[in-house]
Amino acid sequence: MNSKAFAIFVGAIMILSGFAGFMLIWSDQGEIPVVAADSYSLENFKATGNLVDWDFEGLQNVLEMAPENTVMAYWVNLSAPANLTAAARAALPQSMGFSYGSQMYETRIERLAAIYFNGSWTEMHWIKPYHVGYSSLVIPYENYMMIPTGNDYVTVLGKPVLFGMQEPVERVVDVLTGGLSSGHFTLVDEERADLQLAALGKGGKDMPLSGAYDQFYLEISAINGSEERYILDAQLKQPQSGAISKLKDIASANNLSYSGDSAGAGVSGALGRESLQGTLMALMGP
């Protein structure tokens, strides 16, 4: 995401904050919101229209909502140890949720995902629902209410919340209403990890390791919730020589195990907190 988009977003956040504040003040004047017994109930948004209601336990759930031409996606547990979330913030593509998460909602983002397709992106934010409400300042699409947050950005409430530019968000809604999702990411593990990322080589040189493979999959988890030790597993399908060489260098530099042939290659092993960010940045680099 380029710096111009981030500059636009700063203004969008200001508009969103003002809009949300107005609506909450207006609601307080009329009634006291009743909170559902389940603190994560969609009812707590007090919003009309369809709300996103999808499992969000890992990358596999994200890809079920991603359009079929998605070339990269990631999912991060923001409740993981701080060393891991800091490394993700430094190494992964720039994210509004990472950069401005504390300003976007009245409850914190607990899990964050982003998908990349058609040269654009959409983010997904798992938050505890709270009374937002909205007036006529919404854009209906398939009965999902897109709340404008500036000239280019919209928010669709639910579990998870969708955030991004209007057209890409509409493509995600198309999937939610029966459109084709991405089925090209066959390496993605259904087991949970604190960080998961998958990419397709057809995405080009902007992909991790310059896209020199058919598929790339990475997962990292804290070992028993530790701040000090992490387990990493990165796999390539049909890697090219450049990606193989890079993986071998990363394995050698970080005492990781390397295995591979022309059909696939991978590195795995334990990392200390001092090498976590550097290893992740190396895997995400060219």
**For residue 101, what pLDDT band results from cuts at 50, 70 and 90?**
confident
Per-residue pLDDT tens digits for 162-204: 999 999 999 999 999 999 999 899 999 888 899 999 999 999 9
164 - beta bridge partners? 122, 154
Tell me what percent of the residues of the chain surpass a pLDDT of 90.
76
Judge if 116 and 15 occupy the same domain.
yes
Does 143 share its domain with 172?
Answer: yes
pLDDT of 22 > 60? The answer is no
pLDDT recorded at residue 151: 74
Determine, yes or no, domain membership for 87: yes
Q: What is the C-alpha to C-alpha distance for residues 251 and 231, in angstroms, rounded to an integer?
A: 13
Judgement on whether residues 25 and 74 belong to the same structural domain of the protein: yes
What's the domain range around 7? 3-31+38-176
What's residue 135's pLDDT? 64
Q: Are residues 208 and 250 in the same domain?
A: yes
pLDDT at 123: 98
Pair (68, 133) in one structural domain: yes
* 138 and 209 belong to one structural domain: no
Indicate whether 207 and 248 sit together in one domain.
Answer: yes
Mean pLDDT score, 260-270: 93
The pLDDT tens digits of the residues spanning 119-171 come to: 999 999 999 999 987 766 899 999 999 999 877 899 999 999 999 999 999 99
Residues 139, 20: one domain? yes
161 versus 35: which is more confidently predicted? 161
Would 185 be classed as within a structural domain?
A: no
| CA distance linking residue 160 with residue 111, whole number of Å | 9
Q: Does 162 share its domain with 134?
A: yes
Phi, psi (rounded to 5 degrees) for 26: -60, -40
In a domain, 117, yes or no: yes
The answer on pLDDT for 286 being more than 80 is yes
Domain end residue (candidates: 109, 144, 176): 176
We report the CATH number of the domain holding residue 219 as 3.30.70
pLDDT of residue 16: 43
120 plus 232 within the same structural domain? no
Q: What is the mean pLDDT of residues 43-64?
A: 95
Tell me: pLDDT of 71 over 80: yes
> How does residue 226 score in pLDDT terms, banded at 50, 70 and 90?
confident
Domain match, 166 and 212 both:
no
Task: Indicate the pTM of the whole model.
Answer: 0.86
Q: Is the pLDDT of residue 261 over 90?
A: no
Task: Determine, yes or no, domain membership for 184.
Answer: no
Q: Which of 141, 176, 211 is the last residue of a domain?
A: 176
124 located within any domain: yes
pLDDT for 8 equals: 40
What b/e sequence results for 230-256 when a residue is b if at least 16 CB atoms lie within 10 Å of its CB, and e otherwise?
bbbbbbbbebbeebbebbeebbeebeb
Same-domain status, 171 and 199: no
Instruction: Note the pLDDT of residue 189.
Output: 82
Asked if the structure places residue 251 within a domain, the reply is yes
Within a domain: residue 181? no
Whether residue 118 is predicted with pLDDT greater than 60 in this model: the reply is yes
Domain boundary among 176, 205, 229: 176
Task: Identify whether 66 is part of a domain.
Answer: yes
5: pLDDT strictly greater than 50: no
Count the domains in the chain. 2
